Amino acid sequence: MYYLNKTKEELINELQESQQELISIMALSGNDISKYDITFLNKSLQKRITETHCSADGEYYSLLELNNNERDLFADSLHNSYNEFFRNPLTFAVLERIILPSLLLKKKTSKNKEIRIWSAACAAGQEAYSTAMLVEELRNGNDKKLNYRIFATDQCDLQVNEARKGIYSAAALNNLNLKRVKQWFTKHGDTYTIKPELQEHIDFSVFDLFSEHLSAPPASIFGDFDLVICANLLFYYKPEFQKVIIEKVGKCLANNGYLVVGETERDILMKHNYIEVFQQSGIFQKLARG
Ligand SMILES: C[S@@+](CC[C@H](N)C(=O)[O-])C[C@H]1O[C@@H](n2cnc3c(N)ncnc32)[C@H](O)[C@@H]1O
């Protein structure tokens, strides 16, 4: 009933004021949550309110203010690191059949024979390893002289450590066919470890896409990536911060380079002067400015 008497603008203003309070409380423990999207923050907030059995925002804010541990739990609830091998099948099919073969062909006739890839929010590494499998498989039937390097980064050091280890449960391998499991993993008891010959092409490091000092992963030295995968993180942020990330990865793209986003993030790129190279694939190129 309360909501029925309010205009949409009034409700948004209330939400923004309430979130300002939440942002200030979280800053007490050094957590900057001001970049997060308003709807995402509200959903996470409502979830914690239910889990802590608080009756309303106000009661939960008092708990947060007094309780360090709850502030840590709320901050954790904002970190989603869900990842799968070959997560979006259409994206990876287009990479396998169209984008990577054409890049390999292009590099074959170019002076610079290295394909450069950046997995910009790699979580526990599945995205980078999936891409490496594709390049390796295509290279085998093609030209071994072509080199490739994948720079895989994430803001979370725990995720980057997991990615470096490359150890996965059987359940994590669900999207992989048996041939790939045999070719790219070694089984140890109940777990599967990525083989070193795949790992050696990937450089894992911690990198925050909001870093004001660094424009690309330092290990890559100069960026110039043929392919950047920046998937399933844009939607957590407010539009002005999505823009910061898109501009940062866009500046690191080589001429005619490709930018990959998650399937629910395609609209965001379309608003930023990018064109999807294959419908629904989430694979984009920058529109040349007229
Ligand atoms: C849901 S996972 C997506 C993993 C993978 N890219 C995929 O599409 O499945 C989101 C990842 O983005 C990372 N992330 C969020 N904000 C980031 C930032 N500002 N800089 C770097 N990584 C970030 C998180 O740590 C998390 O591992």
Q: Based on C-alpha coordinates, what's the Rg of the chain?
A: 21
Degrees (nearest 5) of the Cα angle 99, 103, 108?
Answer: 155
Same domain, 20 and 143: no
Mean pLDDT value of segment 27-41 = 93
Give me the sign of the Cα torsion angle 260, 266, 268, 270. positive
Same domain, 53 and 149: no
Quick: pLDDT tens for 81-92: 999 999 999 999
- Interstrand relation of 191-194 and 114-119 (parallel, antiparallel or unpaired): unpaired
Which atom of ligand 1 is the closest one to the Cα of 237? 16
Print the domain residue range for 280.
89-286
149: closest CA among 136, 158, 162? 136
Identify the DSSP state of 13. Answer: H
35, 76, 91, 154: residue to mutate for ligand 1 pocket, most atoms within 8 A of CB: 154
Split at pLDDT 50, 70, 90, the class of 290 is: very low
Q: Where are the alpha helices (DSSP H) in 109-195?
A: 126-140, 157-165, 178-184
Which atom of ligand 1 is the closest one to the Cα of 207? 21
Split at pLDDT 50, 70, 90, the class of 287 is: confident
Same domain, 93 and 72: no
Comparing 98-112, 137-151, 252-266, which segment has the lowest mean pLDDT? Answer: 137-151
Higher pLDDT, 74 or 142: 74
Sheet holding 167-169, edge to edge: 167-169, 191-194, 185-188
Mean pLDDT value of segment 172-183 = 97
Same domain, 107 and 209: yes
Structural domain contains residue 82: no
Structural domain contains residue 44: yes
Same domain, 163 and 57: no
Split at pLDDT 50, 70, 90, the class of 2 is: low
155, 168, 236: residue to mutate for ligand 1 pocket, most atoms within 8 A of CB: 155
Domains of the chain: total: 2
Q: Is residue 217 within 8 Å of residue 211, measured between CB atoms?
A: no
Quick: pLDDT tens for 187-244: 999 999 999 999 999 999 999 999 999 999 999 998 899 999 999 999 999 999 999 9
Residue 124: how many other CB atoms lie within 10 Å: 24
Residue 289 has pLDDT above 60, yes or no: no
Structural domain contains residue 131: yes
Mean pLDDT value of segment 29-43 = 93
Same domain, 66 and 152: no
Quick: pLDDT tens for 140-150: 755 667 899 99
Secondary structure tally for the chain: helices H, strands E:
12, 10
Mean pLDDT value of segment 232-261 = 96
Q: What is the mean pLDDT of the chain?
A: 92
Identify the DSSP state of 278. Answer: S
Spacing, Cα 121 to ligand 1 middle (Å): 4
Same domain, 62 and 100: no
Pocket of ligand 1 (CB under 6 A): 79-83, 87, 121, 123, 127, 154-156, 159, 208-210, 231-233, 262
Q: DSSP of 38-101, one letter per residue?
A: HHHHHHHHHHHHHHTT-SSHHHHHHHHHH-HHHHHHHHHHT------TT-SHHHHHHIIIIIHH
Q: By percentage, how much of the chain surpasses pLDDT 90?
A: 82
Structural domain contains residue 84: no
